[in-house]
Amino acid sequence: MKAHDGMYLDGAWRPAVGKDTIAVVNPVDEQVIAEVPAGTAEDVDAAVRAARAALPGWAATAPAGRAARIAALRDALAAREDEIAGTVTAELGAPPPFARAVHTGMPIVVAGSYAELAASHPFEERVGNSTVYAEPVGVVGAITPWNYPLHQIVAKVAPALAAGCTVVLKPAEDTPLTAQLFAEAVHAAGVPAGVFNLVTGLGPVAGQALAEHEGVDLVSFTGSTAVGSRIGAVAGAAVKRVALELGGKSANVILESADLARAVAVGVANVMGNSGQTCSAWTRMLVHTSRYDEAVALAAEAAAKYADRIGPLVSARQRDRVRGYIERGIAEGARLVAGGPGAPREHGYFVSPTVLADVTPEMTVAQEEIFGPVLSILRYEDEEDALRIANGTVYGLAGAVWAGDEAEAVAFARRMETGQVDINGGRFNPLAPFGGYKRSGVGRELGAHGLAEYLQTKSLQF
């Protein structure tokens, strides 16, 4: 696609206030493929004003009418599936099959789910002598990350539109081209002017201006816990609604009775998907001491198969950060059994699929989010020990439990301090709430729970 040199504001592409631009780099060959405007506080203000002006009309649109626009948006995205997938490959480095199936196919399904929810959700109910109305919270400032550039946009914009909110989107600076394609799809879908607005720019400039803007009623942010904490503080000071989907250090707990070979294979695949750039990845594999050596051997063998199958990391900065974590893990006593910090290719931001064994719970690689293709394998003595290790981080986003008996796995999962747990390889469900405990965030995305984030309640007594 050809990049737009302006912002999508009030239903049209308009010139940015300033002249500064952001270079978009292909992480496979390190070449600049496009430039987009670096938005300023003035651009954000114009976008928020457009969203504010469009809010009364969109909020008053019947749910069926909003559902029709979201369905049209889904169809517009589906019609350009190949182009979107190619764009994600170009600016994120995702291998084409993964870009099409996960980065493009999944958000199209999610958009469709919100078209259905917008039409079916009970926006009013009787409670005794009261009628309770679910009303849009107002103007939403959506700040999205680069790791799933379309999915994270759809997971915020679709429920916001379904709720009757208007939106200003500030996408990650590494992957703005996918966001511009999304804006084109919004336009093609006939969404009224001002209901959706796009400002590209840097986080500390455009992102901060959006989070702080007095015309924004809710800030929805996905990204690092450090930045989310600052956004939460800004929103709290303004008594403004906030939804935060932050970091993770999810545990993949393999109980003694589990099918070890399958649990390890699926666990390694989970970590290597998207080159490890997934907040909910099961980056800690917990194995009983009696089966530990076997699990390490299986994991090393499985990881080696991904050497030529995974894409690069998104940027040189991210690549260097991940390599630094691998080096630190080894320095703290972890045993390298696959991959390592060396450069696997002459060009591109690649990191080898890496497995670290003999990791202990207090090591940096067992506590901090690495965000790369790095698996840490920890040993446990019994189930109480496994639970202590699984819950022993500041995060609580996702996880997995494997056992020969499903009830055994469920009993363990119920004791985990985390927002989502897959039982024996349970499939992704786009209608299930996604979000975290502890420092992994506030609020939920996807399904009816994701829609509820963008609604506020009013009760009338009779």
Residues marked active site are found at: 245, 279
Q: Is 399 exposed, middle or buried (0-12, 13-18, 19+ CB in 10 A)?
A: buried
Cα 278 from chain centre = 7
The C-alpha atoms of residue 198 and residue 319 are separated, in whole angstroms, by: 28
Q: Which structure tokens are listed for 347?
A: 């060009």
Largest Cα–Cα separation, the chain: 73
**At 456, phi and psi to the nearest 5?**
-130, 155
Q: CB of 88 within 8 A of CB of 104?
A: yes
Say which residue the tokens 């300033």 belong to.
18
Cα 33 from chain centre = 24
Q: Which structure tokens are listed for 22?
A: 């952001």
Q: Which structure tokens are listed for 239?
A: 């008594």
Q: Which structure tokens are listed for 108?
A: 């199209």
What are the beta bridge partners of residue 10?
A: none
What are the beta bridge partners of residue 459?
A: 132
Amino acid sitting at position 208: Q
Instruction: Spell out a b/e string for 419-458, using b for 16 or more CB atoms within 10 Å of the CB, else e.
Output: bbbbbbeeeeebeebbbbebbbbbbbbbbbbbbbbbbeee
What are the beta bridge partners of residue 284?
A: 251, 376
Which of the 8 DSSP states describes residue 404?
S
Instruction: Spell out a b/e string for 334-361, using b for 16 or more CB atoms within 10 Å of the CB, else e.
Output: bebbbbbbeeeeeebbbbbbbbbbbbeb
Distances (CA, A) of 119 to 122, 153, 189: 9, 21, 17
Following CA atoms 183, 188, 190, 193 in sequence, which dihedral angle do they give, to the nearest 10 degrees?
40
The C-alpha atoms of residue 150 and residue 180 are separated, in whole angstroms, by: 10
